[in-house]
């Protein structure tokens, strides 16, 4: 069994290094957000649970956006440092195992949101332990990530095997092949930038590609 303790912290630090390098107004893959907005989102998510509910509850989205905008306007070094420091001391996410369970995918996806939006940024190679951890998350979260899929979904990786995360529908099943990190990006709606082979009947593939995926 892979020891995943500490991987979220490594990804957090790596993301903060990237944010520092690209600056506060660099593009991201998150529609309408630059890096200041993305960093502010991460801070609100961890430090302001009273304001973060709008991420998942549409009726509260305006308040979440207002609080997030307030953070986004802060000085860039301080905002990145808040991301680096993480949640307050009372948060259960301070427990390493909880941190990895809650934050590894979040920080990996948002790190790639920054990296893949930059012109000529090379793709990074993930360590084997990170790929194994992301595959574990896919096995746990795959049904949720692909719940809107109009077709069955089977995930296949070169090193870790296969996992059916959604049963066949009348349109059939689509097979997604790639490294775990790329499959995570696909499942979070970043299919346009994910290095994933999509196999299936043309109608099934088209239906999947027209569907908005993610949590």
Element (H, E) at 153: strand 152-157
Q: Give me the long-range contacts of 63-71 (CB less than 8 A, separation at least 24).
A: 68/37, 68/40, 68/41, 68/44, 69/40, 70/40, 71/39, 71/40, 71/43, 71/44
Q: d(Cα 174, Cα 197) in Å, to the nearest integer?
A: 10
Q: Contact at 8 Å (CB) between 19 and 79?
A: no
Query: Which residue matches tokens 């306007």?
Result: 73
Burial class (CB in 10 A: 0-12, 13-18, 19+), 186: buried
Backbone phi and psi for residue 175, each to the nearest 5 degrees, phi listed first: -105, 130
Which domains are assigned to the chain?
Answer: 7-115 (no CATH), 128-209 (3.30.1050)
Q: Is the pLDDT of residue 196 over 50?
A: yes
Mean pLDDT of the chain: 89
Paired sense of beta strands 152-157 and 173-177, if any: parallel
Query: What is the 8-class DSSP label of residue 55?
Result: G
- Where residue 37 falls (left for φ over 0; alpha for ψ -120 to 50; beta otherwise) is alpha
Paired sense of beta strands 161-166 and 197-199, if any: unpaired
| Distance linking the first and last C-alpha atoms of the chain | 26
Q: Is 63 helix (H, G, I), strand (E, B) or coil?
A: helix
Confidence of residue 88 (pLDDT cuts 50, 70, 90): confident
pLDDT attached to residue 95: 80
When mean pLDDT is compared across 47-51, 123-127, 185-189, the lowest value belongs to 47-51
Q: Contact at 8 Å (CB) between 24 and 92?
A: no
pLDDT attached to residue 59: 62
Which among 76, 73, 53 has a CA at the least distance from the CA of 64? 53
pLDDT, tens only, 130-143 = 999 999 999 999 99
pLDDT, tens only, 10-47 = 999 999 999 999 999 999 999 899 999 999 999 988 88
Q: Taking the alpha carbons of 115, 110, 107, 153 in that order, is the dihedral positive or negative?
A: negative
Q: Taking the alpha carbons of 167, 210, 179, 23 in that order, is the dihedral positive or negative?
A: negative
């Amino acid at each position: 069994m892979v020891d995943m303790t500490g991987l979220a912290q490594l990804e957090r630090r790596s993301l903060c290094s990237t944010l520092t390098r690209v600056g506060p107004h660099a593009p991201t893959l998150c529609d309408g957000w630059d890096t200041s907005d993305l960093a502010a989102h991460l801070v609100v998510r961890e430090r302001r649970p009273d304001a973060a509910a709008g991420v998942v509850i549409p009726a509260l989205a305006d308040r979440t956006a207002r609080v997030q905008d307030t953070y986004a306007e802060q000085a860039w070094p301080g905002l990145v440092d808040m991301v680096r420091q993480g949640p307050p001391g009372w948060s259960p996410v301070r427990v390493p195992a909880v941190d990895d369970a809650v934050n590894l995918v979040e920080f990996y996806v948002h790190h790639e949101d920054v990296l893949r939006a930059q012109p000529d940024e090379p793709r990074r190679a993930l360590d084997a332990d990170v790929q194994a951890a992301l595959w574990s998350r896919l096995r746990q979260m795959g049904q949720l990530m692909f719940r809107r899929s109009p077709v069955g979904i089977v995930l296949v990786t070169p090193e870790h095997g296969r996992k059916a995360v959604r049963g066949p529908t009348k349109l059939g099943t689509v097979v997604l092949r790639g490294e775990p990190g790329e499959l995570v990006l696909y499942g979070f709606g970043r299919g346009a930038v994910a290095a994933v082979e999509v196999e299936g009947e043309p109608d099934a593939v088209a239906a999947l590609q027209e569907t908005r995926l993610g949590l």
